[in-house]
């Protein structure tokens, strides 16, 4: 074998192993033979291999039985009891044997009725069996699909109906959550939305396309218009983007990793749109230089100024998405600074040229939509695969680009040099401070002030001696003459505590004086160093805060998030709605309200696998980007179908009619069945259960549910529709037992299980049994539950079970009240954590607001029961300390005597301290609060030179 052949073979083996690793991570399948079979069948196409494995429904590994506790309480209640015993078996919808599935489908209603009579199944279970029949039939149909369907449509079209004014989601049609994240971010740019909707195809589009670009781009443009029109005016909760995705498939068919496809997607999408608009522009402006709105919207220019082998150069380049490296940087500005300077640039600022090479980038023209691509993936040469960088990277909601503009080149260079000098000085100060805080020459080091304090305590200790017989248990001593007694004897003059053996009063006085003086000097030096370091940090932070360097504001419009590893994962987008002043989370079909705090938690990275990979900022001085369109004649804002041109309006109306007809047919079908009770509250609860929780634990909730299902299914092998009902019962029993165990554990506050699951909170507070059972049933009815057919089927059983619950069986007002209390408990937790974090950062003004709200909400909860909220004394302590810190700061400012500082101190006192003192006086039982208020009053009284009358 030649060297070339050997290299090729090694490369092929590495490539094969990379594909296997990617496939294992995407599908969760661990069977190597099955993975290799999938790659062989798909000829190495990763997407087709994933679809093959998903459609084969590979078996889920059984969970460890030891992790679950068993309870056995039989109930014939209409509810699925959380403690009921379910020892019957379940249809294995995850197996590879299609004959089993065919046999299950072949069970007709007549056979089911016969089975019910033989086994004593109730009428309720017969109703659920009808749901199972439809579910099994759908499972059969899914085996014939050519792609993976991640989201399964609810059979009830009313579940898929759009709520008024709620944004429309996008269905995931097979590992395409990246498509949804990008498209939704662009769609919510209203100027971009208008350009797409009002795009008119070239007049010659009916003719044969002239080239491959036209053959691909123009049809894609048409499908994108259709998709955008549905996002505007559809009556559906989410729409299907399959047609647009199909056109994209050819461009993304490769054996490369999924993440590489995603990073290229926006580039290719904008290229296609640019081409489509270019064709139209050339047709509209014959003889003139065509103007392309896509270029105007997304592309800017920068000037590259540099030295190459001693020769200076300048050239202008165009850019679209601007790539930024993440590794080694703490925030977006650091990334940008590094990207704008490459190599050695000292020669740029000197009169003499040198042989050094380097360049600077200066933006000459920024686009209205400024997109940063964060490079969080790098190839590991040792492992032979890409890896994700999980480092934390902060970015602001408002970004000022002045420092990177060519017109500010001179002033920016001066400021960069000043920052460089300050950072050098900062490094020296930090090294000096470290010598004070980590003192010693050995492996263990301690703060020098503590070392001196310990020495002072030792020197001051009095030697107190004791007899060995008084200090040692004589029964534990060995017998005399055993040979080891002499080794265990305690010297008679050994002191009880370490202390000097011999020291005169004069020596002690001199030593204590020296140690006390040295300790004071060390503490003062430490404080001075810390203050200097803080001042330098603040100076660096404010370096670009003057108005002249805040003239180019860009506001954060969208953040595209990736969760997972380099070769696989999930994608979603946070998009700001400027009209509601609200962040929204677009997660495929789910569109929910969010917050800046949740965005930060998911996007900054550093402590979980989720992090931002793309940031989209918009020019804050160009409001047309996000402004709604108005009718020229009436002046009314256009909304819904009124925003659409005639052809798209007709298209959406036709689709809406189909959907309305589907709902009418469903209603007519349901009219032939026993009428189920109104499930409005059920739907409301589903939305509550599906939303990301404040602590980001919804994924864990889903995983826990799936584990319970796997545990229940693993213990049964009977293949009949009614067995799924028993599986749901058994799975709920497993899950409830796990949660009951958590509720019974005595855990510290930092591991409060009430925050991890609503049912643990309910158990702690002795919620009614029906409330607990209905809530647990909601967990198993979550639409997001699992991607395999078994979980989907069980989800449908649980949903059918919910529909059979009569209104008089549960007091829905009480049910909603319990869930509102839990939402308030979670909200209180968020306020408390943010308040404590701000307190530790010494941001006392902001911290005080959060702690006040946390205390108030917590007090309302505790009024209903001792376990409804958190430790009241803890919140009161930090609220009080925060107010005292602010008061201390205000008095320090007042004592300076400088007019500006005195006014600032009085403002803090009047607007915060005085305003918050009544909150501490409300609860007179809190003695520490009363003392704190008295201290604050006395402090200000001393300044006024008069006594303030005490309030009775």
In angstroms, the CA 868 to CA 857 distance is 11
In a domain, 773, yes or no: yes
Backbone angles phi, psi at 181, to 5 degrees: -60, -45
Please compute the mean of the pLDDT values over residues 29-56 and round it to a whole number. Answer: 66
What three-state secondary structure class fits 890? helix
Contacts from 497-504 at CB under 8 Å and sequence distance 24+? 497/461, 497/464, 498/458, 498/461, 499/458, 499/461, 499/462, 499/463, 499/464, 500/458, 500/459, 500/461, 500/463, 501/463, 503/459
β-pairing verdict for 238-239 and 169-170: parallel
The proportion of the chain whose per-residue pLDDT surpasses 90, expressed as a percent, equals: 25
Q: What is the pLDDT of residues 68-83, one digit of tens each?
A: 233 333 333 333 333 3
Last residue in a domain, options 759, 780, 810: 810
| Among 356, 361, 360, CA closest to 344 | 356
At residue 90, does pLDDT exceed 50? no
Number of domains observed in the structure of the chain: 3
Backbone angles phi, psi at 563, to 5 degrees: -120, 125
Please compute the mean of the pLDDT values over residues 208-217 and round it to a whole number. Answer: 64
Q: What is the reported pLDDT for 679?
A: 39
How does residue 773 score in pLDDT terms, banded at 50, 70 and 90? confident
The number of residues in the chain equals 952
Q: What is the reported pLDDT for 627?
A: 87
Higher per-residue confidence, 356 vs 543: 543
In angstroms, the CA 373 to CA 615 distance is 7
Backbone angles phi, psi at 249, to 5 degrees: -55, -45
| Among 367, 271, 270, 368, CA closest to 319 | 367
Tell me which of 147, 361, 562, 764 is the catalytic residue.
Answer: 562
Same domain, residue pair 796 and 877? no
Last residue in a domain, options 756, 780, 810: 810
- Minimum mean pLDDT range among 204-208, 712-716, 869-873: 204-208
Same domain, residue pair 788 and 837? no
Same domain, residue pair 839 and 792? no
> Which structural domain, as residue segments, surrounds residue 27?
3-50
Higher per-residue confidence, 356 vs 538: 538
Same domain, residue pair 799 and 876? no
239 with 231: CB under 8 angstroms?
Answer: yes
Maximal CA-CA distance, the chain: 118
Same domain, residue pair 918 and 832? yes
Residue 177, CA distances (Å) to 248, 561, 692, 699 in order: 14, 11, 17, 16
At residue 29, does pLDDT exceed 70? no
20 with 46: CB under 8 angstroms?
Answer: no
What the block records as the tokens of 527 is: 């404080």
Same domain, residue pair 928 and 855? yes
Higher per-residue confidence, 818 vs 3: 818
At residue 566, does pLDDT exceed 50? yes
In angstroms, the CA 477 to CA 493 distance is 19
32 with 44: CB under 8 angstroms?
Answer: no
- Minimum mean pLDDT range among 411-415, 468-472, 554-558, 763-767: 468-472
At residue 170, does pLDDT exceed 80? yes
β-pairing verdict for 322-325 and 369-375: parallel
Mark whether 177 is an active-site residue.
yes
859 with 816: CB under 8 angstroms?
Answer: no
Same domain, residue pair 793 and 869? no
In angstroms, the CA 332 to CA 603 distance is 12
| Among 515, 536, 345, CA closest to 432 | 536
How does residue 481 score in pLDDT terms, banded at 50, 70 and 90? very low
Last residue in a domain, options 29, 50, 71: 50
274 with 292: CB under 8 angstroms?
Answer: yes
At residue 131, does pLDDT exceed 60? no
* Number of helices (H), then strands (E), in the chain: 32, 16
The beta strands (E) that lie in 107-214 are given as 169-170
In a domain, 900, yes or no: yes
In angstroms, the CA 936 to CA 948 distance is 12
Same domain, residue pair 867 and 917? yes
Q: What is the reported pLDDT for 569?
A: 75
CATH number assigned to the domain comprising residue 18:
1.10.8.10
In angstroms, the CA 648 to CA 659 distance is 17
In angstroms, the CA 45 to CA 19 distance is 9
Mark whether 361 is an active-site residue.
no
Please compute the mean of the pLDDT values over residues 782-793 and round it to a whole number. Answer: 65
In angstroms, the CA 823 to CA 633 distance is 46
Same domain, residue pair 704 and 780? yes
How does residue 164 score in pLDDT terms, banded at 50, 70 and 90? confident
Q: What's 586-612 look like in SS3? A: EECCEEEECCHHHHHHHHCCCCCCEEE
In angstroms, the CA 700 to CA 756 distance is 9
Q: What is the reported pLDDT for 22?
A: 61
Residue in the block written with tokens 């020229």: 632
Same domain, residue pair 798 and 889? no
Distance of CA 52 to the CA centre of its chain: 30
Average pLDDT, the chain: 75
In a domain, 391, yes or no: no
In angstroms, the CA 697 to CA 742 distance is 16
Q: What is the reported pLDDT for 857?
A: 86
Question: Would you give the DSSP letter of residue 375?
Answer: E
Same domain, residue pair 800 and 839? no
Higher per-residue confidence, 675 vs 491: 491
At residue 93, does pLDDT exceed 50? no
Q: What is the reported pLDDT for 754?
A: 84
**DSSP output for 785-848:** S-SSHHHHHHHHHHHHHHHT--GGGS-HHHHHHHHHHHHHHHHHHHHHHHHHHHHHTT-HHHHH
How does residue 893 score in pLDDT terms, banded at 50, 70 and 90? confident
How does residue 691 score in pLDDT terms, banded at 50, 70 and 90? very low
In a domain, 626, yes or no: no
What three-state secondary structure class fits 495? strand
Burial class of residue 698 in the structure, from the number of CB atoms within 10 Å of its CB (0-12 exposed, 13-18 middle, 19+ buried): middle
Q: What is the pLDDT of residues 300-355, one digit of tens each?
A: 999 999 888 778 889 999 998 899 998 889 999 999 999 998 765 554 555 455 55
In a domain, 871, yes or no: yes
pTM of the model: 0.55
Please compute the mean of the pLDDT values over residues 886-908 and round it to a whole number. Answer: 83
| Among 575, 645, 537, CA closest to 199 | 645
In angstroms, the CA 825 to CA 754 distance is 9
Residue in the block written with tokens 């005490």: 950
At residue 30, does pLDDT exceed 50? yes
Helix 721-744 and helix 123-142: axis angle, to 10°? 100
Q: What is the reported pLDDT for 3?
A: 43
At residue 700, does pLDDT exceed 70? no
What three-state secondary structure class fits 369? strand
Highest average pLDDT, of 437-451, 526-540, 753-767, comes from: 526-540
How crowded is residue 942: how many other Cβ atoms within 10 Å of its Cβ?
A: 11
- Minimum mean pLDDT range among 414-423, 473-482, 557-566: 473-482
Please compute the mean of the pLDDT values over residues 225-234 and round it to a whole number. Answer: 94
Q: What is the reported pLDDT for 150?
A: 41
Q: What is the reported pLDDT for 288?
A: 63
Tell me which of 177, 335, 614, 882 is the catalytic residue.
Answer: 177
At residue 682, does pLDDT exceed 60? no
> Dihedral (C-alpha) 804, 808, 810, 815: value to the nearest 10 degrees?
110
Q: What is the reported pLDDT for 59?
A: 38
What three-state secondary structure class fits 673? coil
Mark whether 465 is an active-site residue.
no
Same domain, residue pair 852 and 934? yes
In a domain, 909, yes or no: yes
In a domain, 141, yes or no: no
Q: What is the reported pLDDT for 757?
A: 85
Tell me which of 557, 570, 764, 870 is the catalytic residue.
Answer: 570
In a domain, 19, yes or no: yes
């Amino acid at each position: 074998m030649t060297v070339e052949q050997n290299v090729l073979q090694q490369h092929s083996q590495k490539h094969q192993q990379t594909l296997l690793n990617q496939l294992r991570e995407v599908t969760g399948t661990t069977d190597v033979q099955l993975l290799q079979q999938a790659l062989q069948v798909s000829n190495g196409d990763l997407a087709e291999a994933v679809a093959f494995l998903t459609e084969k429904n590979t078996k889920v590994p059984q969970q460890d039985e030891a992790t679950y506790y068993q309870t056995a309480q039989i109930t014939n209640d209409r509810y699925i009891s959380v403690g009921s015993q379910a020892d019957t078996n379940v249809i294995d919808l995850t197996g590879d044997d299609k004959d089993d599935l065919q046999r299950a489908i072949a069970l007709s209603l007549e056979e089911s009725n016969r089975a019910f009579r033989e086994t004593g199944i109730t009428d309720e279970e017969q109703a659920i069996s009808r749901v199972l029949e439809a579910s099994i039939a759908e499972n059969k149909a899914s085996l014939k699909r050519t792609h993976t369907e991640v989201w399964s449509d609810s059979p009830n079209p009313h579940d898929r109906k759009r709520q008024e004014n709620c944004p429309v989601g996008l269905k995931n049609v097979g590992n395409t959550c990246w498509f949804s994240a990008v498209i939704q971010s662009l769609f919510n740019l209203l100027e971009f939305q208008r350009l797409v909707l009002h795009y008119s195809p070239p007049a010659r589009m009916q003719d044969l396309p002239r080239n491959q670009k036209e053959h691909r781009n123009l049809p894609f443009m048409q499908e994108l218009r259709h998709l955008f029109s549905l996002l505007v005016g559809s009556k559906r909760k989410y729409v299907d983007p399959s047609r647009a995705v199909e056109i994209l498939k050819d461009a993304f068919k490769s054996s490369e990793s999924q993440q590489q496809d995603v990073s290229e997607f926006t580039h290719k999408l904008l290229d296609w749109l640019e081409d489509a608009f270019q064709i139209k522009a050339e047709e509209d402006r014959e003889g003139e230089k065509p103007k392309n709105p896509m270029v105007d919207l997304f592309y800017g220019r920068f000037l590259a100024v540099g030295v190459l082998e001693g020769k200076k150069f300048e050239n202008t380049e165009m850019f679209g998405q601007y790539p930024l490296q993440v590794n080694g940087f703490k925030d977006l500005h650091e990334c940008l600074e590094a990207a704008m300077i490459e190599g050695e640039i000292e020669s740029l600022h000197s009169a003499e040229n040198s042989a050094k090479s380097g360049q600077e980038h200066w933006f000459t023209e920024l686009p209205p939509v400024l997109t940063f691509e964060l490079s969080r993936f790098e190839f590991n040469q040792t492992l032979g695969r890409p890896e994700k960088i999980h480092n934390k990277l902060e970015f602001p909601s408002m970004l000022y680009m002045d420092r990177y503009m060519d017109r500010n080149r001179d002033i920016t260079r001066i400021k960069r040099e000043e920052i460089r000098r300050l950072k050098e000085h900062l490094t020296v100060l930090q090294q000096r401070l470290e010598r004070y805080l980590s003192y010693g020459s050995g492996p263990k080091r301690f703060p020098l002030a503590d070392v001196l304090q310990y020495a002072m305590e030792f020197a001051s200790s009095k030697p107190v001696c004791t007899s060995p017989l008084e200090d040692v248990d004589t029964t534990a001593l060995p017998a005399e003459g055993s040979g080891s007694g002499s080794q265990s004897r305690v010297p008679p003059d050994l002191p009880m505590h370490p202390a000097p053996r011999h020291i005169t009063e004069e020596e002690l006085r001199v030593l204590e004086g020296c140690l006390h003086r040295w300790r004071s000097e060390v503490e003062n030096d430490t404080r001075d160093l810390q203050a200097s370091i803080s001042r330098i940090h603040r100076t660096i932070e404010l370096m670009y805060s003057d108005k002249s360097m805040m003239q180019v504001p860009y506001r954060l419009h969208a953040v595209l998030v990736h969760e997972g590893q380099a070769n696989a994962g999930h994608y979603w987008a946070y998009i700001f709605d400027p009209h509601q002043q609200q962040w929204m989370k677009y997660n495929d079909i789910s569109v929910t309200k969010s917050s800046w705090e949740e965005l930060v938690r998911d996007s900054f990275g550093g402590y979980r696998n989720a992090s931002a990979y793309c940031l989209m900022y918009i020019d804050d001085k160009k409001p047309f980007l996000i402004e709604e369109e108005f009718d020229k004649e009436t002046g009314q804002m256009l909304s819904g179908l009124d925003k659409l041109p005639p052809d798209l309006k007709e298209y959406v109306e036709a689709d809406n009619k189909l959907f309305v007809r589907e709902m009418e047919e469903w209603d007519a079908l349901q009219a032939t069945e026993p009428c189920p009770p109104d499930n409005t509250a059920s739907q409301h609860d589903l939305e509550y259960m599906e939303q990301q929780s404040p602590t980001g634990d919804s994924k864990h909730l889903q995983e826990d549910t799936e584990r319970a299902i796997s545990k229940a299914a693993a213990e049964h092998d009977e293949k009949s529709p009614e067995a799924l009902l028993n599986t749901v019962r058994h799975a709920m029993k497993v899950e409830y037992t796990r949660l009951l165990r958590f509720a019974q554990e005595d855990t510290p506050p930092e591991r409060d299980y009430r925050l991890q699951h609503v049912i643990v909170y309910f158990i702690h507070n002795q919620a009614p049994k029906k409330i607990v059972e209905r809530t647990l049933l909601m967990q198993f009815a979550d639409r997001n539950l699992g991607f395999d057919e078994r979980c989907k089927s069980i989800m449908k059983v649980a949903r059918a079970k919910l529909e059979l619950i009569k209104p008089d069986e549960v007091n829905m007002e009480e049910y909603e009240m319990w869930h509102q209390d839990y939402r308030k408990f979670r909200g209180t937790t968020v306020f408390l954590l943010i308040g404590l974090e701000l307190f530790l950062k010494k941001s006392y003004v902001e911290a005080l607001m959060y702690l006040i709200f946390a205390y108030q909400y917590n007090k309302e909860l505790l009024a209903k029961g001792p376990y409804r909220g958190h430790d009241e004394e803890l919140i009161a302590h930090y609220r009080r300390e925060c107010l005292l810190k602010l008061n201390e700061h205000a008095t320090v400012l007042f004592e300076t005597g400088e007019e500006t500082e005195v006014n600032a101190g009085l403002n803090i006192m009047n607007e915060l301290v005085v305003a918050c003192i009544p909150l501490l006086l409300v609860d007179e039982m809190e003695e520490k609060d009363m003392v704190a208020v008295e201290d604050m009053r006395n402090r200000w009284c001393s300044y006024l030179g008069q006594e303030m009358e005490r309030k009775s």
